Structure 1
Amino acid sequence: MTGLSITDGEPQDGTMSTAHTDRTPLLPSKRQDLVVEDVYDDYHEASVPSAIFNLSTTIVGAGIMALPATMKVMGLPLGILTIIVMGILSENSIQIMLRYSRPSGARSYGGLMADAFGGIGRTLVQLCIIINNIGILIVYLIIIGDVLSGTSASGEHFTGVLEEWAGGPTWWNERTFVLFTIAVVVLMPLISFRHVDSLKWTSALSVALAVVFVVIVAGVTIWKLFAGEISWPRLTPDVYDQKTFWRLFTVIPVMVTAYICHHNVHPIANELSGTADSSDEKMRNVVRWSMLLCGTIYLCTATFGYLLFGDATSDDILSNFDTDLGVPFSHLICIIVRISYAVHIMLVFPLLNFSLRLNLDSFLFPRATPLAHDTVRFSLITGFLISCVFLGAAVVPNIWVAFQFTGATATVCLGFIFPALVLLKDKPLLATRRDKWEAVVMVILAILSSVVAVTTNVINLVDPGKNGST
């Protein structure tokens, strides 16, 4: 679901007219490939619980794997505070979007930006969604590679599941070969569906597998806490020089990526039942409850994950599940955790690819026929994207690096800078002086943290030393 952007406004092919409706469903079963289409035959009004589920599913993704590592960088108290603050800021930025969407009549993020800044606003949103989704899909492949083939960090090798089964490295469990095989055999068939509705059962299974991961991590940690086998966690940041101080800012993009869901807010809001006024209030409640739910999940995962592995926590916590956890059935638990989340990633992959493909096609071919009706264009774009993601996963060293670059650029724009700019533009004259000052502060902090994070990451890549979270 993440990254879906339904463009509002004029027809793109110059001939098709678009009827205006009050609602646009998130996952329509017909004509959802028409980026400008906002009339659907199979539309059913959604309830608040289903909207909370959809938004929460959008939020929880691969970012959860890197959150325990943020605790290692920040220390437990500051890490917990950062997760809470980022959740509050993310909710506030979404509320800004909802507040300004009503007077503008925007039914998508692109429509909101187009109302405030014209075509350039819509184009910027599309570009950021493309960059954000490509970055996250690369992270997905990296995680799959870590789980199946293993990974090395700070001179330590974390064994992959296939390595364990083979008793060591072989040609068939080598990382590049495994990722290529997964991309061709598993991911290509899934991303070849023309309609999101075809993925509804795989999406349901992916959510269940994510829950399994969180429950197991919490359960193992609680068991070891009662057994007295967990040492006292570090409470302060590991800062001892200027370089490690600037490293603290690299946590921000990871947090931003974990909470990003802004591009799916409008489609979910458009599904809600009731009048315009009542649905607006319902959506505000949906955002609050979703952020509370996901924030709780993040706090549990980050805290329990860091308590379980301490300063040995990897950038991708799944890599830590290659050892004896010191609990009954430890080996079986490790296998279940790693395999279940790897499968979860494989099943979520086509959803992000679907929205990425739509936005890329809309950006490159704004006046072409609908993508679902052009088999050649559909196949070329699909093949191009999976190739780019595969090559990116082969080049990017770990998920921390990917999160820093995408989170500090496109994601921070989608999550904070664009909503704040819409408020500062204040086309319907809704903002108070205090609102505008808060928006200015939000933009300045977002830009500063992004610049510092990207700069620090580049320096660490050039001169590794003691970098990232490792």
Structure 2
Amino acid sequence: MEASWRSTSAEPGWYISAQLPEEAASEELSPLLGNELRRQGSPGVSFGFSVFNLMNAIMGTGILGLAYVMANTGILGFSFLLLMVALLASYSVHLLLSMCIQTSVTCYEDLGLFAFGLPGKVVVASTIIIQNIGAMSSYLLIIKTELPAAISEFLTGDYSGSWYLDGQKLLIIICVGIVFPLALLPKIGFLGYTSSLSFFFMVFFALVIIIKKWSIPCPLTLNYAEEFFQISNATDDCKPKLFHFSKESAFALPTMAFSFLCHTSILPIYCELQSPSKKRMQSVTNTAIALSFLIYFVSALFGYLTFYDKVESELLQGYGKYLPHDAAVMTVKLCMLFAVLLTVPLIHFPARKALMMLLFSNSPFSWIRHSLVTLALNITIILLAIYVPDIRNVFGVVGATTSTCLIFVFPGLFYLKLSREDFLSWKKLGAFILLICGILVGNFSLALIIFDWVNK
């Protein structure tokens, strides 16, 4: 029995007619996507730019907290957990791509439609919207709070009251001048250049962390008015731990899982990939996850080996404390803020697409509608970043649930529902394990956040 569907995201390049095949398709993408790209006269986005875009979607502020995670799990414990999460993230992308082959659609929301009908599509689209609005608002909140402080470190004298030290004004100027124009672009592939810039900012961050390892002695000392105060006399504080467990270790797995969230951007990037195929997109994913893993691990390792048990939950705060007014540290702070800023337009694409599918599912693409929805989303995230003081706590709960669903639960659940393989096949067993891991991590993360609130 055949069912005819049409991807209706109201975004250019997303109109793909499809039929659910009786048998699983081949490992390569159905010709539908390649034909669609040729019909549009688009050569597609190169392999390298696709990797940059996906890395930009993966890497965000999570890199600043992984050294703290290593301090609470130990070097070997951290390495094992980070590798496991990276492999699970790659496998969940493999399941998503496999389902795209079987259903001939290239849209996360339409996978929900195939699996559970209209309710499935609404749940997936709503999850993407909530997750991405939360992430974008949180990133803008970081820009609002940290950018004035980073700029002030370059200034000598009293400049309080200046507009360029006002977080709200800077946020509005940046969103109007940078975020909105980039988010307005019709295709996600156009962001390849800004994503490559963001990638080099992350590499620069890792290099500075490595170099500054030898600029901060251990035991740690603080310099106040030209007098040095030793923080600790214990030489054991300067010995790395291979394994370590504490109450903070419970946050390790959720933090790592959220550090590899890129699944809302996988299918948009897949749609615009040059010579698109499942194998080629899986190579893009594996390359992006491997490079992200390497940068994450190196930054966490040298950050931990610099501060050991005294590492801050936000790594750069430690460098600001022990190396005040250091030119490299001040520069890397600005680079990290710009890297975060350049991630916002990339996250905006899947959020807008999901909103379009909910509100205008049967409408052709319109620049007026496209611009108005883009503007509405930007106004929403700006207002949240400016006027909601505890937005990190609010979206901490939302992120613990929506992120886990998008990484683990939905790919595993949809594959179990859509695949015609025997349940004891390796892929279905893997999907089942992924689903169980997602449920456990999601509930565990939510319980930890609530427990932390109660204690505070």
Global fold match (TM > 0.5): yes
Find the counterpart in structure 2 of residue 385 from structure 1.
381
Which deviations, in whole Å up to 9, do the C-alpha atoms of 1:241-276 show, x marking residues without a partner?
Answer: xxx2xx4332222211211112222233334455x7
Matches within 5 A, 1:243-262: 244=247, 247-262=248-263
Find the counterpart in structure 1 of residue 178 from structure 2.
190
1:222, distance to aligned residue in structure 2 (A): 5.7
Give the conservation status (yes or no) of the 8 Å contact 1:254–1:407.
no
Find the counterpart in structure 2 of residue 138 from structure 1.
137
1:111, distance to aligned residue in structure 2 (A): 2.3
Find the counterpart in structure 1 of residue 200 from structure 2.
208
1:319, distance to aligned residue in structure 2 (A): 2.4
Q: Find the partner of 1:363 among 343, 358, 370.
A: 358
**Shift in CA distance, 448/167, structure 1 to aligned 2, threshold 3 Å:** farther
Within 2, Cα distance between the matches of 1:53 and 1:433? 34
Which deviations, in whole Å up to 9, do the C-alpha atoms of 1:155-213 show, x marking residues without a partner?
Answer: xxxxx552674668945599xx8331122111123233321567555444333322221
Which deviations, in whole Å up to 9, do the C-alpha atoms of 1:330-381 show, x marking residues without a partner?
Answer: 7111111111111222232233234323323433444567463135555444
Find the counterpart in structure 2 of residue 316 from structure 1.
314
Give the conservation status (yes or no) of the 8 Å contact 1:187–1:349.
no
What letter is aligned with 1:359?
Answer: A
Does residue 152 of structure 2 align to residue 162 of structure 1? Answer: yes
* Structure 2: stretches of 5+ with no match in the other structure: 18-30, 222-236
Find the counterpart in structure 2 of residue 34 from structure 1.
none
What letter is aligned with 2:32?
Answer: D
Find the counterpart in structure 2 of residue 263 from structure 1.
264
What letter is aligned with 1:260?
Answer: L
**Shift in CA distance, 282/200, structure 1 to aligned 2, threshold 3 Å:** closer
Give the conservation status (yes or no) of the 8 Å contact 1:66–1:316.
yes
Within 2, Cα distance between the matches of 1:357 and 1:271? 17
Does residue 411 of structure 2 align to residue 419 of structure 1? Answer: yes
Within 1, Cα distance between the matches of 2:109 and 2:266? 11
Matches within 5 A, 1:296-315: 296-315=294-313
**Shift in CA distance, 236/341, structure 1 to aligned 2, threshold 3 Å:** same
Matches within 5 A, 1:335-346: 335-346=330-341
Within 1, Cα distance between the matches of 2:63 and 2:39? 34
Find the counterpart in structure 1 of residue 64 from structure 2.
65
Find the counterpart in structure 2 of residue 108 from structure 1.
107
Find the counterpart in structure 2 of residue 233 from structure 1.
240
1:88, distance to aligned residue in structure 2 (A): 0.8
What letter is aligned with 1:77?
Answer: L
Give the conservation status (yes or no) of the 8 Å contact 2:49–2:196.
no
Give the conservation status (yes or no) of the 8 Å contact 1:138–1:389.
yes
Within 1, Cα distance between the matches of 2:285 and 2:342? 25
Within 2, Cα distance between the matches of 1:173 and 1:69? 34
1:11, distance to aligned residue in structure 2 (A): 4.8
Within 1, Cα distance between the matches of 2:191 and 2:47? 22
What letter is aligned with 1:387?
Answer: L
Within 2, Cα distance between the matches of 1:346 and 1:108? 26
Within 1, Cα distance between the matches of 2:75 and 2:351? 35
1:433, distance to aligned residue in structure 2 (A): 4.0
Within 2, Cα distance between the matches of 1:453 and 1:349? 24
Matches within 5 A, 1:11-90: 11=8, 18=15, 20=17, 22-23=32-33, 41-90=40-89
What letter is aligned with 1:232?
Answer: K
Give the conservation status (yes or no) of the 8 Å contact 1:108–1:263.
no
RMSD: 3.6
Within 2, Cα distance between the matches of 1:451 and 1:308? 34
Within 1, Cα distance between the matches of 2:288 and 2:372? 39
Within 2, Cα distance between the matches of 1:283 and 1:370? 26
| Range with greater deviation from structure 2 (218-227 or 427-436) | 218-227
1:59, distance to aligned residue in structure 2 (A): 1.7
Which deviations, in whole Å up to 9, do the C-alpha atoms of 1:63-98 show, x marking residues without a partner?
Answer: 212222211332322122111110011111111112
| Range with greater deviation from structure 2 (308-317 or 450-459) | 308-317
SS class of match (2:106): coil
Find the counterpart in structure 2 of residue 117 from structure 1.
116
**Shift in CA distance, 339/196, structure 1 to aligned 2, threshold 3 Å:** farther
| Range with greater deviation from structure 2 (93-102 or 197-206) | 197-206
Give the conservation status (yes or no) of the 8 Å contact 2:68–2:313.
yes
1:307, distance to aligned residue in structure 2 (A): 1.8
Does residue 334 of structure 2 align to residue 334 of structure 1? Answer: no
Find the counterpart in structure 1 of residue 233 from structure 2.
none
| Range with greater deviation from structure 2 (419-428 or 431-440) | 431-440
Within 2, Cα distance between the matches of 1:123 and 1:38? 27
Q: Find the partner of 2:432 among 432, 436, 440.
A: 440
SS class of match (1:455): helix
Within 2, Cα distance between the matches of 1:426 and 1:378? 33
| Range with greater deviation from structure 2 (216-225 or 205-214) | 216-225
Find the counterpart in structure 1 of residue 229 from structure 2.
none
Give the conservation status (yes or no) of the 8 Å contact 2:172–2:382.
no
Find the counterpart in structure 1 of residue 20 from structure 2.
none
1:221, distance to aligned residue in structure 2 (A): 2.1
Q: Find the partner of 2:367 among 354, 364, 372.
A: 372
Within 2, Cα distance between the matches of 1:385 and 1:396? 11
1:146, distance to aligned residue in structure 2 (A): 4.9
**Shift in CA distance, 405/38, structure 1 to aligned 2, threshold 3 Å:** farther
SS class of match (1:212): helix
What letter is aligned with 2:390?
Answer: V
Within 1, Cα distance between the matches of 2:423 and 2:444? 30
Q: TM-score, normalised by structure 1?
A: 0.76
SS class of match (2:63): helix
Find the counterpart in structure 2 of residue 429 from structure 1.
421
1:404, distance to aligned residue in structure 2 (A): 4.5
Give the conservation status (yes or no) of the 8 Å contact 1:148–1:173.
no
What letter is aligned with 1:283?
Answer: M
Corresponding residue pairs, total: 416
Within 1, Cα distance between the matches of 2:254 and 2:366? 32
